Amino acid sequence: MSDHSNGNGVVILDTLSREFRRHLLFSLGKNEAESDSDYCYRAAALAARDRITEDWISTRERIDQSDTRRVHYLSLEFLLGRSLNNALLNLDLEEPMRKALHRFGVELEEVIDQEPDAGLGNGGLGRLAACFLDSCANLKLPVSGYGIRYEYGMFNQTVDNGRQIEGPDHWLRNGNPWEIERHEDIRKIHLYGRTERTSDADGKLHHEWVESQCVLAVPYDMPIPGYRNGTVNTLRLWKATATDEFNLSEFNAGSYTESVAEKNNAEQISMVLYPNDASENGKELRLKQQYFLVSASLQDVIADWVKRNGEDFTDFGKKNCFQLNDTHPACAVPELMRLLMDEHGLEWDDAWAITTECMAYTNHTLLPEALERWSVGLFGNLLPRILEIIYEINERFLAFVEAKYPGDKELLNRVSIIEGGNNPHIRMAYLSIVGSFSVNGVAQLHTDLLKSGLFSDFDRIWPGKLNNKTNGVTQRRWLSHCNPGLRDLLTETIGSSWESDLEKIKDLAPYSEDAAFRKKWRAVKQANKERLTKYIAQNTGVQFDASMMFDVQVKRIHEYKRQLLNILHVIHLYDRIMRGDTEGMVPRCVLIGGKAAPGYHIAKLIIKLANNVAARVNAEPKAADLLRMVFFPNYRVSAMEVICPGTELSEQISTAGKEASGTGNMKFMMNGALTIGTLDGANIEIREKAGEENFFLFGLDAKEVAETRKHYDPNAIINSDDDIRRIMELLEGGRFNENEPGIFGELIGGLRNPGDQWLSIADLRSFIDSQAQVAGIYMNPEQWDRMSILNTANSGWFSSDRTIQQYADDIWNVGAI
Ligand SMILES: *Cc1c(COP(=O)(O)O)cnc(C)c1O
């Protein structure tokens, strides 16, 4: 625990107060009396940022002076959430800032709540990138992030008559105190046009990208502070803007204003985050974003290389590594080839050796609809030179495969980067695999399934290239910061070393047998449930009861995640209550939250059903003491920081084989929730680490899922199981849509369809039974708390520090600097 009660603490407190006042006055032009909480937030953020700045500069100098390999994490998404809370925690300034603000009559929590989330991501993939940056800084690794500075982040979700409404997230409207613009590092990006081939005097062929349209990429740097270790890494986000070159013909024709207005087009590229999670939309603007990020970032790294090494690229691949967060930045492979050949004069073979020495790719999904493919026509129009290079990469790759497996034409078709046919497409996953030295999955099951399924040919062609790196989350944000009560209890019990080395949390395990400790454990959870109860009431008007069990499922709304299965279970409990069959029932409050992609009709209908079931349940007097339900709107990082500490039961109920890893499951485990889950993604590892007796398992496993699909008969299950039959009768009889007849027809049809991909009815009996076991154990609080403690105690594996140490050792080959 921090100690600011000494003389040094007073100095820090005085300095912070002074700097807070100075920023209010001189950075923001406000005196104390006229400053609202937003100004106080801004001043506090600037004061905190000042404390980071020297370490930021010295970290940069340390990396510049060392000969270490540098890692560049390329991601279209960084779901950072808020920065002030994180900075204060990592700098150990929480208490001094609280006291400093008290001097001005201001509460720290209120100030922290003013900061809008940096919602530059959809869900797990973007949040993973943010946790990774935190862990890289904690481990002092020379890793920087590269992303896009979207003007509008993930949409704001509100609910109207039970339906999702999307609103714009203009998170930058009041400025962003955490970013610094670096106009000296602006890069120029080409789009459209065509390529021109010329031979020089020596007969060497040159390619030039001509008649292109140019946009500028302007970098904004955000500091990523390590945990009390003097390291501050950088996240560089690119904003698109027009070049200063005018369209001269228009200008001369007198269309000055039109010519200036035209420049707005360039800014569209970084205007908005695409809100699709686990599906692709194939829009040209999205491809522009991808190439924009990749080209700006690679040019940035190369410019820095040339500054230090001149035009000698011999060691470039040894000294740099690009980690591709899914295929979204896959254009990095051909773009690095283009830059090395067309801009720096390297030959193909040298450029290819360098490229495949420094590219590494992380796969995040097995869902076919999420695998990126770009139509060759669209791609070639926007990025003509890049398409040429992809064709040549493919030609050489197929020649290599043909030489290795002569005569296997089927194999060539299967692994070709270009999927042929009338409307040929580029398979971005294959491009990424061919161009990378490492390809990793994000949980053991996911990697095994990649090897045996989607990427099996590549696993045969390059044994060992596919590897596993099970995801993790940072315990600084997801335990220390969001659950101060638990943090303090842990620290008084086992010390604080777990904050930078989560394996140390193992020392908690013996305390599960200590009744006095369990009482304290229970008190912390109770306080967090009360905090969550308030938060829910403020945001929804629904009143939870902190004496009931808190049963939570928050994540993107997607059929494979099976929020529908969860709702069916709520309907089952409601049915029991209405029939008076409440023996052995435990009072529970069910929370579901998450955003649906705006174009995902079924996911939006699931939100509507959740809201309608909640309304029905909450209006039923007989249910008041046994069952309550809420759909929590606008699920996001700062909401999860209140939700996960107050959760007792974590719902991780995806159809087995569909969830690559999951990371929400890990946050809940760290905070002492018990998991009810399928054998999917990292749930399997959670169950292994927690012990199977401390995990509520249900449902088919991935193999059984594949088997069941062949002869799935949901209607037979419904007819032969009274509980399930009654659930369907309530749903189909319109109990949850009395004034809106027929609106849930598609959901019902899906459940009853033998072709249903998600097999909700197949797992429902097992889910209901497992939930009954949950209730049985919850009635024995001593037993529940024992299991809860053991979940937290065994969560060490799920720190992103462990994940990142594995990336550093096995893929990046870098150490602390
Ligand atoms: C952790 C997190 C996710 C990922 O949740 P899963 O349950 O793994 O899908 C998504 N969104 C937010 C805001 C998160 O914090």
Distances (CA, A) of 544 to 242, 588, 592, 620, 645: 51, 9, 13, 14, 15
Residue 5 reports pLDDT greater than 70: no
Residue 7 reports pLDDT greater than 70: no
For residue 604 the two structure tokens come to 């939006």
The residue among 530, 547, 519 whose CA lies nearest residue 786 is 519
For residue 281 the two structure tokens come to 């939309």
Rounded Cα–Cα distance for residues 383 and 710 (Å): 43
Residue 338 beta carbon below 6 angstroms from any ligand 1 atom: no
Is residue 608 in some structural domain? yes
Which domain CATH number covers 750?
Answer: 3.40.50.2000
Secondary-structure breakdown of the chain: helix, strand, coil percentages, each rounded to the nearest 5:
55, 15, 30
Q: What is the pLDDT of residues 377-432, one digit of tens each?
A: 999 999 999 999 999 999 999 999 999 999 999 999 999 999 999 999 999 999 99
Residue 1 reports pLDDT greater than 60: no
Q: What is the pLDDT of residues 646-676, one digit of tens each?
A: 999 999 999 999 999 999 999 999 999 999 9
Q: What amino acid positions are annotated as catalytic residues?
A: 364, 555-556, 561, 663, 667
Is residue 172 in some structural domain? no
Quick one: average pLDDT of 685-701? 98
Residue 663 beta carbon below 6 angstroms from any ligand 1 atom: yes
Ligand 1 atom 11, closest CA:
123
The residue among 275, 266, 131 whose CA lies nearest residue 190 is 266
Is residue 602 in some structural domain? yes
Residue 706 reports pLDDT greater than 50: yes
Ligand 1 atom 6, closest CA:
664
Ligand 1 atom 10, closest CA:
123
Is residue 695 in some structural domain? yes
CA of 667 to the centre of ligand 1 (A): 9
The residue among 341, 435, 338, 345 whose CA lies nearest residue 387 is 338
If one residue of 134, 556, 641, 680 were mutated to test the ligand 1 pocket, choosing by the most ligand atoms within 8 A of its CB, it would be: 556
3-state secondary structure of 654: coil
Please give the mean pLDDT across all residues of the chain: 96
Q: What is the pLDDT of residues 420-442, one digit of tens each?
A: 999 999 999 999 999 999 999 99
Residue 262 reports pLDDT greater than 80: no
CA of 663 to the centre of ligand 1 (A): 6
Burial 401-413 (b: 16+ CB within 10 A, else e): beeebeeeeebee
CA of 714 to the centre of ligand 1 (A): 30
Quick one: average pLDDT of 746-750? 98
Rounded Cα–Cα distance for residues 626 and 445 (Å): 37
510 or 3, greater pLDDT: 510
CA of 329 to the centre of ligand 1 (A): 21
Residue 558 beta carbon below 6 angstroms from any ligand 1 atom: no
pLDDT (0 to 100) of residue 248? 62
CA of 662 to the centre of ligand 1 (A): 7
Quick one: average pLDDT of 700-718? 98
Ligand 1 atom 7, closest CA:
664
**Tally of CB atoms within 10 A around 523:** 12
Is residue 406 in some structural domain? no
Confidence of residue 260 (pLDDT cuts 50, 70, 90): confident
Question: H or E stretch including 413?
Answer: helix 409-415
Residue 4 reports pLDDT greater than 70: no
Q: What is the pLDDT of residues 272-308, one digit of tens each?
A: 999 998 888 889 999 999 999 999 999 999 999 999 9
The residue among 361, 545, 521, 542 whose CA lies nearest residue 455 is 361
If one residue of 640, 669, 803 were mutated to test the ligand 1 pocket, choosing by the most ligand atoms within 8 A of its CB, it would be: 640
Q: What is the pLDDT of residues 332-364, one digit of tens each?
A: 999 999 999 999 999 999 999 999 999 999 999
CA of 149 to the centre of ligand 1 (A): 21
Residue 127 beta carbon below 6 angstroms from any ligand 1 atom: yes
Residue 250 reports pLDDT greater than 70: no
Is residue 85 in some structural domain? no
Ligand 1 atom 15, closest CA:
637
Residue 172 reports pLDDT greater than 60: yes
Judging by DSSP bridges, how do beta strands 156-160 and 320-325 pair with one another? unpaired
Residue 595 beta carbon below 6 angstroms from any ligand 1 atom: no
Lowest pLDDT segment from 5-14, 74-83, 788-797: 5-14
For residue 109 the two structure tokens come to 């929590």
Is residue 656 in some structural domain? yes
Question: Which alpha helices (DSSP H) does 710-808 contain, by range?
Answer: 714-720, 722-732, 745-752, 760-778, 781-793, 800-806
Rounded Cα–Cα distance for residues 768 and 756 (Å): 20
- The residues near 263 (Cβ < 8 Å, ≥ 6 apart) are 241, 242
Is residue 505 in some structural domain? yes
Domain extent for 677: 475-804
How many separate domains does the chain show? 1
The residue among 13, 10, 179, 11 whose CA lies nearest residue 94 is 13
pLDDT (0 to 100) of residue 278? 80
